[in-house]
């Protein structure tokens, strides 16, 4: 087990002939690893007046010492290349060269093939959960010494007590469902006095919030997920910190955060980042202003801070054996700095995947932020970010399924037109596709029926990109954004010891213990999701095949996924997907799709089974008739 010296570690040594004690309050990072490409490590030291002392490191070359206007900080850059694992003491000495403080900095061995770890991809389905609202296995730590906000499940926006052990306990549920990757909203310490459960105002970047558990528990969660064949994505927040971060009371430099004469909230108008006509004041209002009153904006143009952020992310990937990152509010960052941050991570882990939250409603503006974007290239900008979130598809999904009559730009045409614009992306297959997340309206609140859920999930599971589902959708969970964020982040039923009913288990599995399992409605949602996602796992044609789509007719959207054989003369695998968003049954003329159908195969074997319903379909006829509000997946 890798040992970590956490923040608030203090070291006090009395020097011979001196009565004053020198205290190192923080050392970040407290360890590193041998064999890293990022081998020049910037170590932050924090303590009273420590800039008055001379640092040295036994066994490591000191490449640079940076002091700021705040004498409570020292930044020491050490060279770790070609060094062996071991302890390399950092020593502070006074002007008489007497040792006044010491910290045992460690170099650790890396896990085998650490640099070559594979990230998430279109092979995967991501399950997004909020730890505070998922499962509470250890109620005793809901209220924790030193943490300002106590546990209070009766308060909708309060801490409800979900924890890391609760996630570990239910990894088998996520695996059974058919998801392959877990993305949790931030688990690091958020010590805001209220509304701290979401974790996006982090008060300590090297420490898991103790109400969730410990750093070691987080690592164990990742390792247990790996044992069960699941990957884990960490939610990163480089744009802003918490107003209660320990540095906010003692900033390393005056330029560590962006500050205005009075509090200035971000305009959230991140389209200014690529606007060729944008005024400097508008750019600053979006990029430099605070995301919220509790979230100071970090000044990433400060090289000490930027290097701190890069190293912190590398540290967590290496320490916790992570499989990927999701980056919050990516387009709010200093765009040059976040590109350097991203490229530094990808240089260390070239096969990792990172998805950025680009909450914009225009494909060109979203594309701008993806690696090697043809849009970004127009101004020689390249973020290096492999994946972005397909918010325009999300926008289309929230409207299309309520439009049961097809108009020129309504109904399934919205979905079709979204993919028409894929020419704007460098890599459409590495987009994250979703119907909802922790910040949006709940899909099942917008569409409170199973038929629409089946249409939407079938679309996400069979189109290009990486599907992401949100915890509870698979059991029909609802929640109103208008009521408030807490309502779209409800507790998962059965995650708390006092719950009378659980959705983690079928009714037959739990009722013998006196606890009701999933309701019939929850079971219907769950079984459909389970069947579809587990089927998808082995469908290389979906993971890698090309997409061929047809203009919707009568609110019926038809597309194919095709994987060509090695000689390219015929397909090795073909799928036909039919989504009927009309309330009425519709006839599909098969002649229209002849170029995508393997006609010779269909002549020899005309009866094909539909995957979701197991119904046989006869392709010897000229037409197929699909019921209203129905999704079909047909293996050809």
Phi, psi angle pair for 387, to nearest 5°: -130, 145
Phi, psi angle pair for 601, to nearest 5°: -70, -40
Q: What distance, in Å, lies between the first and last C-alpha atoms of the chain?
A: 50
Are 342 and 373 a contacting pair, CB within 8 Å? Answer: no
Are 568 and 546 a contacting pair, CB within 8 Å? Answer: no
Catalytic residue among 235, 328, 390, 436: 328
Name residues whose C-beta falls within 8 Å of residue 624's C-beta, 6 or more positions apart in sequence.
578, 587, 588, 590, 617, 618
> How many whole angstroms separate alpha carbon 261 and alpha carbon 144?
36
DSSP string, 235-295: EE--SB--TTSGGGGS-SSTTSB---SS--B----GGGGT-TT--HHHHHHHHTSBSBTTB
Q: How far is CA 370 from the centre of its chain?
A: 16
The residue to which tokens 């046989």 are assigned:
616
491 is catalytic: no
Name residues whose C-beta falls within 8 Å of residue 483's C-beta, 6 or more positions apart in sequence.
none
Catalytic residue among 348, 357, 436, 474: 357
Q: Which of 389, 498, 381 is nearest to 435 (CA)?
A: 389
CA atoms within 13 A on the CB side of 608: 25
328 is catalytic: yes
> How many whole angstroms separate alpha carbon 471 and alpha carbon 128?
6
Active-site positions?
328, 357
């Amino acid at each position: 087990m890798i040992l970590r010296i956490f923040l608030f570690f203090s070291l006090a040594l009395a020097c011979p002939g001196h009565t004053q004690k020198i205290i190192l309050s923080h050392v970040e990072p407290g360890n590193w690893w041998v064999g890293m490409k990022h081998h020049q490590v910037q170590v932050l030291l924090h303590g009273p007046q420590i800039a008055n002392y001379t640092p040295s490191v036994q066994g490591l070359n000191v490449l640079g010492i940076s002091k700021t206007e705040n004498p409570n900080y020292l930044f020491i850059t050490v060279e770790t290349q070609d060094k062996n694992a071991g302890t390399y003491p950092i020593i502070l000495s006074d002007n008489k060269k007497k040792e006044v403080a010491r910290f045992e900095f460690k170099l650790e061995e890396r896990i085998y093939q650490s640099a070559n770890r594979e990230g998430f991809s279109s092979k995967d389905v991501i399950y997004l959960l909020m730890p505070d609202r998922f499962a509470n296995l250890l109620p005793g730590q809901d209220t924790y010494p030193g943490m300002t906000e106590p546990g209070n499940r009766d308060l909708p926006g309060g801490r409800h007590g979900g924890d890391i052990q609760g996630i570990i306990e239910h990894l088998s549920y996520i695996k059974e469902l058919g998801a392959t990757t877990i993305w949790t909203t931030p688990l690091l310490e958020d010590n805001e006095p209220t509304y701290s459960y979401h974790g996006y105002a982090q008060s300590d970047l090297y420490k898991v919030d103790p109400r969730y558990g410990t750093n070691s528990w987080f690592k164990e969660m990742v390792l247990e997920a790996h044992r069960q064949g699941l990957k884990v994505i960490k939610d990163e927040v480089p744009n802003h910190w918490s107003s209660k971060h320990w540095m906010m009371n003692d900033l390393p430099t005056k330029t560590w955060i962006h500050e205005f004469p009075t509090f200035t909230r971000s305009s959230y108008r991140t389209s200014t980042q690529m606007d060729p006509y944008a005024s400097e004041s508008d750019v600053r209002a979006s990029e430099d202003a605070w995301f919220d009153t509790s979230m100071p904006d970090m000044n990433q143009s400060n090289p000490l801070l930027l290097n701190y952020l890069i190293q912190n992310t590398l540290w967590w990937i290496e320490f916790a054996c992570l499989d990927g990152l999701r980056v919050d509010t990516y387009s709010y960052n200093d765009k040059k700095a976040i590109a350097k941050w991203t490229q530094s991570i990808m240089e260390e882990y070239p096969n990792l995947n990172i998805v950025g939250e680009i909450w914009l409603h225009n494909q060109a503006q979203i594309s701008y932020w993806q690696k090697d974007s043809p849009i970004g290239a127009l101004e020689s900008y390249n973020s290096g970010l492999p994946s972005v979130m397909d918010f325009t598809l999300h926008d289309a999904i929230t409207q299309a399924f309520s439009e049961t009559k097809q108009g020129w730009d309504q109904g399934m045409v919205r979905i079709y037109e979204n993919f028409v614009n894929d020419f704007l992306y460098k890599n459409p297959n590495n987009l994250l596709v979703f119907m909802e997340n922790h910040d949006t309206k709940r899909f099942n609140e917008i569409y409170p029926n199973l038929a629409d859920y089946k249409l939407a999930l079938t679309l996400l599971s069979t189109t290009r990109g990486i599907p992401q589902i949100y915890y509870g959708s698979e059991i029909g969970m609802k929640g109103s954004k208008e009521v408030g964020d807490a309502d779209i982040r409800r507790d998962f039923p059965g995650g708390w010891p006092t719950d009378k009913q659980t959705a983690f288990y079928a009714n037959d599995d739990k009722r013998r213990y006196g606890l009701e399992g999933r309701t019939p409605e929850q079971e219907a949602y769950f079984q459909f999701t389970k069947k579809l996602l587990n089927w998808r796992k082995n469908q290389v044609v979906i993971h890698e095949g090309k997409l061929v789509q047809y203009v919707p007719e009568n609110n019926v959207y038809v597309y194919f996924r095709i994987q060509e054989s090695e000689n390219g003369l015929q397909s090795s695998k073909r799928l036909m997907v039919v989504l009927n968003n009309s309330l009425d049954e519709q006839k599909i003329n098969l002649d229209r799709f002849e170029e995508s159908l393997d006609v010779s195969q269909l002549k020899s074997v005309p009866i094909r089974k539909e995957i979701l319903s197991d119904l046989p379909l006869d392709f010897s006829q000229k037409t197929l008739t699909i019921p209203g509000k129905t999704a079909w997946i047909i293996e050809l």
